[in-house]
A and B are shown apart, each in its own frame.
Chain A
């Protein structure tokens, strides 16, 4: 584990998302209405839509291009669609968002 502080939870709008650039590509940080933050790939496996621009609802996000819905917890596509986005370890400490970069570089190296 290699935790790195990438910002404060309030930097992400409620039920919104922000991007973090990493060597493994763009990772999207999603904030739900329950003060939770999830990290996942920004890219929809369908047509590459930017998931950080989707609507966050419950613990899911809907891709803005063609309305595919992904679970932020598991990364699995919901409903009739099939697909998976990578999710990453993230934790909150006193409002600071910590992202596990080890997982990111490991994935990049793999």
Chain B
């Protein structure tokens, strides 16, 4: 007989519970109420949505189709007004009365709002749901935000908004950030990393009052009289289980709704899961236990035996560039000992807390590679006396070489692999036994590694262990079919073996083809140029047609020619020369490009040399609009004409273009220089973007506006133009020396990490100077105009022979 099941709240816990019920074909007629006007989404992924790394659509876990297919009646946007446990009915907001056989509470929690004076002003929000996230995302660049709360949630909110160019100040009442998860040292490192992201952090700061103007928030006033102006104030100081409805219904509640090990409340027909419950005195805010509860609740509903057991928990912060892990208990105590490892240069800090030869707590900052292994030690209460001396160095130092696969093989079935989705090793192994053979299969079947992806390596190792030889952990892709080496290997070997010609590369690195192919040849040619600028002679036949002919090939085989206009500035004489060339060579289309240059489209190959000759004569050189090299430096007018301009942005753009032009790079490089934060040159989606401000220059890098759209990240803020130029040059050189061919700057920075780049080109002044010097050395060869050279040997652009006349005779 089908039972009526009513579920209140479509959150992550009830979502997982419903999934289990549906998967096991449980015989229920399910009605799902939700106060939010939508179904279940992955709330812990709101931070990546806020920072722009994911979209809302990507974090929806159950869409309308799923609810329909699963036969669940959805009443979204509707609250429950009351519950009559005696009659076993609920009353909906609109007065509908529905009967239930079983009722499940998943009412979650409410963000805690500190009752400061002014907390009800417009513009004071929590960080809880999509609406809050949207409010933060809608803030334009340059707006000011104060976040109260330096815990996990507050910092993710702060970092997300800072990534969108919002001016963020974090106010935290304790002496250091995330004090529940971190000790002082790690808190300090985290603070430094956030400050580097442009976030202002105020610890030991007591909020006194929220100041408003016309009913809207204006500033936060601290105890010490400091006023922090803001357009939005986010309170992220904690959550309180939402127990109002349960209390009114007469259920036993404490901090949360009391449940037993089967997730049953004081009423035998009512269950509760998630953040609204209290189990053995504990309440829950992290996702892993809440998924466990969901499964137990589903099993209880289906009459299966199951019990919820609280487990050790670990924490990670979802802020790009801040690697942080904490688990267990690391309070100091007389019986407790510490093992601490610091590497200040790398920003790495590790601390283990031991008690009776067992690890009871761990805090890692900067390097969290082995955190799962340490977490296992804590959870399993492993006796570590035998490895104490080398313990801090991780699993690889225990008893000689430890195969990472052995470590994974040794994990118990209930070891958690994917923290985002609460998937343990046993479930992955089960999926593999059910036929999954690839990472994609595992993602589709279990959701493991489907969210933030940090566990991908682990999942692959579980696959390798379980499938044995049938699974090959995907190695980094080789350059092409001509070699098994990766780009990185080839770059390294070219340097270490001193290979200075393509022949040497093919020979020494055992190429399987006589002279490469269209994929590897341009890459090798680039690497050789970048590494040996004085010795290696560029090979035009290893260049793509655009770079060989110094013009852009079009789909009909004609070309487009773009003369360089330094910083986007031109003159009437140059314009006349361009117009004359367009007339003389019958150019069908003249277009202004996105980079503020003029494009002459539809030129026949035979006409190119003569056209270049004419343009050269007018003082113009190749615009390299086709090259893996510097293309354009887009500018605004800056102080010359604009009433907002703070610096001579056009002048800086011209200087940069004259400095950088002609240099070959792994992929195209575009710059933008804006004279003020209004950013008319759209500098924040360029490979290097400079925003001039009153106090100097903000140099940011790794933007893109093509296949991917990305905002730049701040590399450095410098006071002088000279320094802005030096930082830019050093950045381009380090990209030239390290990136894989055809990796845009943003892809490369994502691989090596912005922090590493900063260390190399911002912090280490000696290294910066050396990079600039190496760039200059290379430019002594390559800052030349290929048009002039090619215009001189125009015959190569003509047919070798013309037989049409002879044939006619």
Contact = CB atoms under 8 A, between A and B. Distances in A.
Q: Do A and B come from one complex?
A: yes
A23 B545 CA distance: 26
Interface residues of B, number: 29
B517 to A, nearest CB: 5
B515 interface: yes
Contacts of B557: 48-50
Given A55-B521, A67-B518, A105 B807 contact: yes
B368 to A, nearest CB: 41
Given A47-B555, A53-B545, A53-B548, A15 B807 contact: no
B801 interface: yes
A22 B807 contact: yes
Contacts of A53: 545, 548-549, 553
B342 to A, nearest CB: 51
B804 A14 contact: no
A58 B541 contact: no
Contacts of A19: 799-800
Interface in A48-100: 48-50, 53-58, 60, 62, 64-65, 67, 69, 99
Contacts of A6: 800-801, 803
Contacts of A11: 800
A104 B803 CA distance: 10
Contacts, number: 95
Contacts of B799: 18-21, 26
Contacts of B521: 55, 57
A12 interface: yes
Interface in A10-60: 11-16, 18-23, 26, 29, 33-34, 47-50, 53-58, 60
Contacts of B542: 15, 55
Contacts of B796: 13, 18
B514 interface: yes
Interface string B548-575: 1100010111000000000000000000
With a 10 A CB-CB cut-off, give which of A13, A55, A99 has the most chain B CB atoms.
A55
Given A57-B515, A62-B517, A16 B803 contact: no
B800 A62 contact: no
A28 B89 CA distance: 84
Contacts of A18: 796, 799-800
Contact of B807 (A33, A60, A101): A101
Given A13-B540, A50-B557, A57 B516 contact: yes
A12 to B, nearest CB: 7
B513 A21 contact: no
Given A50-B557, A57-B513, A14 B541 contact: yes
A65 B555 contact: yes
B802 interface: yes
A57 B804 contact: no
Interface string B668-693: 00000000000000000000000000
Nearest to A64: B545
B806 interface: yes
B536 interface: no
B502 to A, nearest CB: 10
Interface string B778-808: 0000000000000000001001111110111
A18 B800 CA distance: 6
A74 to B, nearest CB: 18
A9 to B, nearest CB: 11
A13 B793 CA distance: 13
B800 A20 contact: yes
Contact of B518 (A14, A57, A104): A57
A18 B799 CA distance: 6
B806 A21 contact: no
Given A53-B549, A62-B518, A29 B800 contact: yes
B419 to A, nearest CB: 41
Nearest to B558: A50
Given A57-B517, A62-B518, A7 B803 contact: no
A33 B518 CA distance: 14
Is the interface on chain A under 10, 10 to 19, 20 to 34, or 35 or more residues? 35 or more
A101 B805 CA distance: 13
A46 B803 CA distance: 26
Contact of B803 (A48, A58, A101): A101
Contacts of B808: 23
Contact of B544 (A14, A20, A22, A55): A55
B800 A55 contact: no
Given A49-B557, A58-B514, A64-B553, A12 B800 contact: yes
B504 to A, nearest CB: 14
Contacts of A4: 803, 806
A18 B797 CA distance: 8
Contacts of A12: 800
A23 B804 CA distance: 5
Nearest to A49: B557
A21 B541 contact: no
Given A23-B807, A53-B548, A57-B516, A65 B553 contact: yes
Given A47-B555, A56-B541, A58-B513, A23 B518 contact: no
A6 to B, nearest CB: 4
B801 A20 contact: yes
Given A64-B553, A65-B553, A22 B804 contact: yes
With a 10 A CB-CB cut-off, give which of B542, B557, B808 has the most chain A CB atoms.
B557
A38 to B, nearest CB: 14
Contacts of B515: 15, 33, 57-58
B539 to A, nearest CB: 8
B801 A7 contact: yes
A13 B801 contact: no
Contacts of A54: 518, 545
A27 to B, nearest CB: 9
B541 to A, nearest CB: 4
B544 A21 contact: no
Nearest to A18: B800
Nearest to B807: A23
Contacts of B549: 53
A11 B562 CA distance: 28
A105 B517 CA distance: 33
Nearest to B548: A53
A22 B802 CA distance: 6
A77 to B, nearest CB: 14
B235 to A, nearest CB: 55
Contact of A16 (B513, B541, B553, B556): B541
Contacts of A104: 803, 807
Given A13-B540, A13-B541, A53-B553, A69 B800 contact: no
Contacts of B545: 50, 53-54, 64
Nearest to B513: A58
A33 B514 contact: yes
A7 B541 contact: no
Contacts of B517: 55, 57-58, 60, 62, 69
Interface string B755-790: 000000000000000000000000000000000000
A20 B806 CA distance: 12
Interface of A: 4, 6-7, 11-16, 18-23, 26, 29, 33-34, 47-50, 53-58, 60, 62, 64-65, 67, 69, 99, 101, 104-105
Interface of B: 513-518, 521-522, 540-542, 544-545, 548-549, 553, 555-557, 796, 799-804, 806-808
List 3 A-B pairs, minimum CB-CB distance, nearest first: A62-B518, A18-B800, A6-B801
7 contacts: A6-B800, A13-B540, A13-B541, A55-B521, A58-B513, A64-B553, A99-B803
Given A15-B541, A18-B796, A64-B544, 19 more contacts: A6-B800, A15-B515, A20-B800, A21-B801, A21-B803, A21-B804, A23-B807, A29-B800, A34-B514, A47-B555, A48-B557, A53-B545, A53-B549, A55-B522, A56-B541, A57-B516, A58-B517, A65-B553, A99-B803
